[in-house]
């Protein structure tokens, strides 16, 4: 195993960086692994180009960051339960990830990160947009932060996954299946960086506990619009062999389906996460952020 020297080029000041100088088909030496991990923690989503890797190499890369997550609903390719196929073509009625979300946030322990590689891309379009939930939190007023940090939201997979894969090869009948539903803090403290992030999303979050429905709907509508502000975002243009690796604990993403009827196809490895929690900012931390 020889050391590789990576270069990190930021896409925007707040979120996203492209990494070069690494071949992910080779086992990662510890220094390169630490540098990639540090780039992910700092930039929240990192991108690689021209990576020619097998499913096993893709999984091995993911396993450097933690145990792999198995999707609660989507069928997996034969022999690879930890792989999620991302695919759209002229027969697709919908595509995965079209709408702002953090992956599988309905799980009691939502995934820490996701690593998507595309092997087929449309002639143009099919970009993925990423939004920083640190930036979204930081931009809120202190009274709004004070309100949100005491709140808990319900995230459900029922309306997202029920019947969703019924025309997909390898799918199983889901009438008897129960999909995850979990309660998470609206403001989540990142377990590695200690930074606060907004943790509600339009795909999975159904309501905020303890509020009247009209209050919850109005607050969530405001927060979803806030999370989607362009200044919190970066946008990735894919080529064949590109990889995006995002931290679900502090980002949301949105896959653009503007290329119908063209084909876009890839595989995603998802890394297991832990139970979201909120830890209050200390006065010192507040002073540093001000």
Q: Which residues bind ligand SIN (CB under 6 A)?
A: 86, 96-97, 114, 116, 128, 253, 255, 268
Q: Known catalytic residue: 254?
A: no
Tell me the closest approach of the beta carbon of residue 157 to ligand SIN, in angstroms: 14
Place of tokens 């322990």: 109
Q: Which is nearer to ligand SIN, 135 or 255 (CB)?
A: 255
CB count, 10 Å around CB of 73?
20
Edge-to-edge strand ranges of the sheet holding 205-208: 181-185, 152-156, 205-208
Residue 257 or 278: which CB sits closer to ligand SIN? 257
Cβ at position 132, least distance to ligand SIN in Å: 16
d(CA 262, CA 120): 10
> Among 71, 184, 254, 268, which one carries the catalytic annotation?
268
CB of 220 to ligand SIN, least distance (A): 20
Residue of 195, 253, 254, 264 marked catalytic: 253
Told to judge if 190 belongs to the known catalytic residues of this protein, a careful annotator would answer: no
Catalytic residue among 85, 101, 188, 254: 101
Q: Write down the catalytic residue from 103, 107, 247, 281.
A: 103
Cβ neighbours around 244 below 10 Å, total: 21
The token pair that represents 2 in the structure block = 């020889």
Beta carbon nearer to ligand SIN, 28 or 96: 96
Query: With respect to ligand SIN, which residue has the nearer C-beta, 109 or 138?
Result: 109
**Of the candidates 271, 238, 242, 270, the residue with the CA atom closest to the CA atom of residue 256:** 238
CA distances from 113 to 67, 102, 163, 235, 274 (A): 11, 9, 25, 18, 11
DSSP lists the bridge partners of residue 290 as none
Q: How many Å apart are CA 95 and CA 87, to the nearest integer? A: 7
162 catalytic? Reply is no
Q: Provide, rounded to whole angstroms, the least separation between the CB of residue 243 and ligand SIN.
A: 11
Select from 17, 14, 6, 59 the least CA-distant residue to 40: 17
Q: Which is nearer to ligand SIN, 95 or 149 (CB)?
A: 95
> Rounded to the nearest whole angstrom, what is the least distance from the CB of residue 86 to ligand SIN in the complex?
5
By annotation, the residues acting in catalysis are 101, 103, 253, 268
């Amino acid at each position: 195993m020889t050391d590789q020297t990576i270069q990190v080029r930021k896409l925007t000041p707040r979120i996203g960086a492209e990494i070069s100088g690494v071949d992910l088909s080779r086992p990662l030496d510890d220094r390169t692994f630490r540098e990639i991990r540090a780039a992910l923690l700092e930039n929240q989503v990192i991108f690689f180009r021209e990576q020619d890797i097998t499913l096993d190499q893709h999984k091995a890369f993911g396993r450097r960051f933690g145990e792999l997550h198995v999707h609660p609903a989507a069928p997996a390719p034969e022999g690879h339960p930890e792989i999620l196929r991302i695919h759209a073509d002229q027969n697709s009625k919908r595509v995965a990830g079209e709408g702002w979300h953090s992956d599988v946030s309905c799980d009691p322990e939502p995934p820490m990160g996701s690593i998507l590689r595309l092997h087929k891309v449309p002639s143009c379009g099919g970009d993925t947009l990423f939004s920083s939930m640190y930036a979204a939190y930081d931009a809120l007023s202190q009274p709004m932060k004070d309100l949100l940090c005491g709140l808990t939201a319900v995230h459900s997979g029922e309306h997202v996954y029920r019947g969703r894969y019924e025309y997909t090869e390898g799918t199983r009948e889901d009438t008897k299946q129960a999909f995850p539903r979990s309660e998470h803090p609206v403001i989540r403290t990142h377990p590695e960086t200690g930074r606060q992030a907004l943790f509600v999303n339009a795909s999975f979050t159904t309501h905020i506990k303890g509020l009247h429905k009209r209050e919850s709907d109005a607050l969530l509508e405001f927060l979803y619009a806030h999370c989607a502000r362009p200044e919190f975002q970066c946008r990735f243009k894919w080529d064949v062999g590109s990889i995006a690796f995002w931290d679900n604990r502090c980002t949301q993403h949105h896959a653009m389906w503007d290329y119908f009827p063209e084909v876009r196809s890839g595989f995603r490895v998802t890394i297991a996460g832990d139970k979201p929690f909120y830890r209050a900012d200390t006065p010192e931390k507040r002073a540093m952020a001000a």
